[in-house]
């Protein structure tokens, strides 16, 4: 019998409570533990269990404490794995056609700057750019 090993981040984000926590934090700069508890509707024990799992994967962090209040934020933005819902399957906000040479040159310049800022080692020299897809959620 063969075993299939899934990406732990994707597997973790398939859980409805962890997914709801991560999506809530993606949409805001930060939330307190109490605010997150109201958003996802679980008891404090379950909330901390799921927050610790997301924290162990490097996705979120408790970035400050004020008295007894803990504040959480996203530290790594990753694509959400598809959960089969139409909303997830259709999270494209649009695309930019790069068939115009001037538009493609501008896109390459922008992508080079983004790659430099992110420290990525992806090379654009050997790829043909056809379009840019903008994926996200409308606020």
Per-residue pLDDT reduced to its tens digit, 53-76: 999 999 999 988 888 899 999 998
Residue 89 confidence (pLDDT) above 50: no
**Residues 120, 95: one domain?**
yes
CATH number at residue 15: 1.10.10.10
Q: Is residue 111 in a domain?
A: yes
Residue 132: pLDDT band (50, 70, 90) is confident
The contacts found for 56-61 with CB under 8 angstroms, 24 or more apart, are: 57/8, 57/9, 57/12, 59/9, 59/12, 59/22, 60/21, 60/22, 60/25
Residue 124 confidence (pLDDT) above 80: no
Q: Check: pTM over 0.85? Answer yes or no.
A: no
Percent of the chain whose predicted confidence (pLDDT) is above 90: 34
Q: Is residue 83 in a domain?
A: no
């Amino acid at each position: 019998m063969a075993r299939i090993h899934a990406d732990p981040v994707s597997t973790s984000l398939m859980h409805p409570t962890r997914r709801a926590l991560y999506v809530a934090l993606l949409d805001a700069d930060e939330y307190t533990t109490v605010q997150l508890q109201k958003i996802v509707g679980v008891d404090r024990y379950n909330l901390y269990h799921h927050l610790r799992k997301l924290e162990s994967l490097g996705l979120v962090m408790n970035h400050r404490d004020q008295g007894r209040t803990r504040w959480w934020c996203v530290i790594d933005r990753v694509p959400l794995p598809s959960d089969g819902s139409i909303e997830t399957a259709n999270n494209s906000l649009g695309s930019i056609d790069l068939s115009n040479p001037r538009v493609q040159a501008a896109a390459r310049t922008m992508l080079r700057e983004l790659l430099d800022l992110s420290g990525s080692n992806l090379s654009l020299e050997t790829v043909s750019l056809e379009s840019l897809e903008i994926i996200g959620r409308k606020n």
